[in-house]
Amino acid sequence: MTADRWTQVVRRQIGLGRLLPLGGPRDGAWIAEAAAAAVLERAVAEGLPGVRLGALRLALADPEEAPEPVVPAPPSALPPGPLRLTADFAATAAEPLPAVTSGLRRTLATAATERLGLAVTEVDLRVTDLLEVAEPAAEVRAPQPVSAREPTDPDEVRVAAAALSVPGVTALTGSLGGLGRAVHLEERTAATALPHRHARVELATGADRRAVEVARQVRTAVTAALEDRPTVAVLVTAVG
């Protein structure tokens, strides 16, 4: 890999942000922080026109208490567990700031749960500026992950077809690892079990379906598509 190519790979992976757990330990699903943040920013832009959201971050609320996932996680992904959301914002003085803060906290928590399936249990907000007038809602665009290259391995082809057949999956993506592959199949060994295959599928979902529900259906479809019934992990890199 050339130096320029390596630089592009690193930038793409940094652009994904943290890989956040969707659902619980048994769901085997993760979402890129950039994808999740875009959904939350869109919810604020749609519902709170007098608020300008600034930096937004998601992290484990208590890393030491996070359980291990049932299936192998994507590289560098956070383990499943309650999340803490932190965000800066600016607002007008048209409403008392405590009321604005309460509405923003509710909007973010609701969107995280109902649109995505993130287990956000803490929302920490900080006012960074007062706006003289309400600003027009900014257009929030979903991240544009790298489109996956066409698979050639027969089993990868089956997995890709199974994932794309699930309602809510809009595309397969290939951002993680810099290989342009949406489907990763590997042999796994565990101290207490026989060797088995594990599949990781990277994809984008539509904004009209809850991301964690789509991921669960993809896992079911992919497992059924292969005779050896591998374990499956799903990574969502864009929503909408």
The candidate with the shortest Cα–Cα distance to 38, out of 164, 158, 143, 157, is: 143
What is residue 78's three-state secondary structure? coil
Which residues, including other chains, have CB under 8 Å from residue 10's CB and lie 6 or more apart? none
Summarised one tens digit per residue, pLDDT across range 97-110 is: 999 999 999 999 99
Q: Which helix (H) or strand (E) holds 171?
A: strand 169-172
What pTM value is reported for the model? 0.88
Helix orientation angle between 154-164 and 211-225, rounded to the nearest 10 degrees = 140
What's the pLDDT at 178? 63
Is the separation of the CB atoms in 58 and 80 below 8 Å?
A: no
Summarised one tens digit per residue, pLDDT across range 2-11 is: 433 333 343 3
Q: Which helix (H) or strand (E) holds 233?
A: strand 231-239
Is the separation of the CB atoms in 82 and 58 below 8 Å?
A: no
What's the pLDDT at 10? 38
What's the pLDDT at 190? 64
Amino acid at 192: T
Is the separation of the CB atoms in 25 and 80 below 8 Å?
A: yes
Q: Strand runs (DSSP E) across 33-159, as ranges?
A: 51-60, 83-92, 120-131
What's the pLDDT at 148? 93
Distance CA 69, CA 223 (A): 17
Summarised one tens digit per residue, pLDDT across range 175-193 is: 886 678 999 999 877 655 5
CA separation (Å) from 18 to 79, 104, 180, 231?
A: 11, 23, 19, 22
What's the distance, Cα to Cα, between the start and end of the chain in Å? 32
Q: Please identify every stretch of the chain with a pLDDT value under 50, giving residue numbers as ranges.
A: 1-12, 14
What's the pLDDT at 12? 46
* Bridge partners (DSSP) listed for residue 122: 84
178 sits in the region (left: phi over 0; alpha: psi -120 to 50; else beta) called left
Is the separation of the CB atoms in 79 and 65 below 8 Å?
A: no
Is the separation of the CB atoms in 232 and 201 below 8 Å?
A: yes
What's the pLDDT at 9? 40
**β-pairing verdict for 169-172 and 120-131:** unpaired
